[in-house]
Amino acid sequence: MQDKYVLPLVDISLLNSTNLDDRMQVAQALDQACKEVGFLYLKGDQFQPALFAQLCDIAKHYFAQDDALKMQNYIGKSVNHSGYVPIGEEQFSSNSYDLKESYDVNYDYQGSALNYPLLGPTQWPDDPAFKRHVSQYYQHLKAIGHQLFRCFALALEQKEDFFDMHIQHAPSQLRLIHYPYNPQATDAEGIGAHTDYECFTLLLPTAPGLQVLTKQGEWIDIPLLENTLVMNIGDMMEILSNGKYLATKHRVKKVQQERYSFPLFFSCDYDYVIQPINTNEPPKYAPLAGGEHLFNQTAQTFHYLKQRVASGELVLKNAVPLYSFGLTESNMEYTP
């Protein structure tokens, strides 16, 4: 029953403390929440609600523009998978797509040229206010994400700075997603269900609609909770934790109301090899090239990349199928 499931709420304020015991307290709470559910709410003194509000306002302004203007920055024109994503571009299954559009923003790497398809200068629209507010939000959450990487290191019994050297130029992506008002919306079970490919995600939603698949195999609604972010575990953290934390399948119900959603997906550096980090137990996962996995999964969901694969212009190496991580029949906990 829905009433049985209430996501954990973890206060990360003490990650600002200079006292290791305080930070360990947060790490223990994070560890417990990620073991139990893999989805949770975060609150903290670090949050700047004014930046959250600015991001919502700028997104509403951007998506209200004509499609032709938005398509000037179509994601297929970029060299590092950034830009406008029209409705129908992204598909997790061949027979359906979510009614949504988005603008995808990458790390905006300005260093020397690298042969990494997800790392490079972001394609920005010709709107200085958009770039300013979106960049401010990105940097704000990036700082919080780096605190959380340190927290995960403690939770996984590593030195607190374990991840520091592996998140210097991570291709972590922010998506500004718009679900337009749709009076004909009729929901279908499982449409759009997926796990996130990266380590973890920090999500700012503006309306209900998000659902999570529990270990009992039941879809549950995730209500809004004021002044919080929603956090979930992704594929890479499932591997890093050697299955201690599972990537959690989730979806967005097809609802009539207009809604916005702002996930920032935190990954490690492109060339960092993702593998279990606790060497005291047998590894349950083979090593995975992090950036390669991230791009391969992306190329299996975006139309413009699928076309390049089909034509032979793009060849994916070591790609695993979508839905290769997270809950399966073997790790669900069915109850009578």
Strands 39-43 and 9-11, bridge-based pairing: parallel
Whether the CB-CB separation of 44 and 148 falls below 8 Å is answered with no
Residue 198's nearest CA partner among 153, 145, 150 is 145
> For residue 55, how many C-alpha atoms fall within 13 Å in the half-sphere facing its CB?
29
Residue 171 φ/ψ, nearest 5 degrees? -80, 55
Answer whether 275's CB lies under 8 Å from 239's CB.
yes
Buried/exposed 111-142: b ≥16 CB within 10 Å, e otherwise: eeeeebbbbbebbbbeeeebbebbeebbebbb
pLDDT attached to residue 135? 97
> Tens-digit pLDDT profile for the chain (336 aa)?
344 557 999 999 999 999 999 999 999 999 999 998 899 999 999 999 999 999 999 999 999 999 999 999 999 999 889 999 999 898 766 566 668 899 999 988 888 777 888 998 999 999 999 999 999 999 999 999 999 999 999 999 999 999 999 999 999 999 999 998 777 766 554 456 788 989 999 999 998 889 998 878 888 899 999 999 999 999 999 999 999 999 988 888 776 788 999 999 999 999 999 999 998 899 999 998 999 999 998 998 899 999 999 999 998 988 877 766 765 544 444 333
Q: Mind listing the pLDDT tens digit for each residue in 94-122?
A: 566 668 899 999 988 888 777 888 998 99
* Mean pLDDT, the chain, whole residue set: 89
| pTM over cut 0.95 | no
Q: What angle, 0 to 180 degrees and rounded to 10, lies between the N-to-C axes of helices 128-155 and 49-63?
A: 130
Q: Are strands 210-213 and 200-205 parallel, antiparallel or unpaired?
A: unpaired
211-244 in b/e form (b: 16+ CB < 10 A) is bbbbbeebbbebeeeeebbbbbbbbbbbbbbbeb
Say what the pLDDT of residue 285 is: 93
Q: For residue range 43-95, list pLDDT tens digits in order.
A: 999 999 999 999 999 999 999 999 999 999 999 999 889 999 999 898 766 56
pLDDT value, residue 96: 60
* Residue 334 confidence (pLDDT): 33
Q: Record the tokens describing residue 183, joined without a space.
A: 């009076």
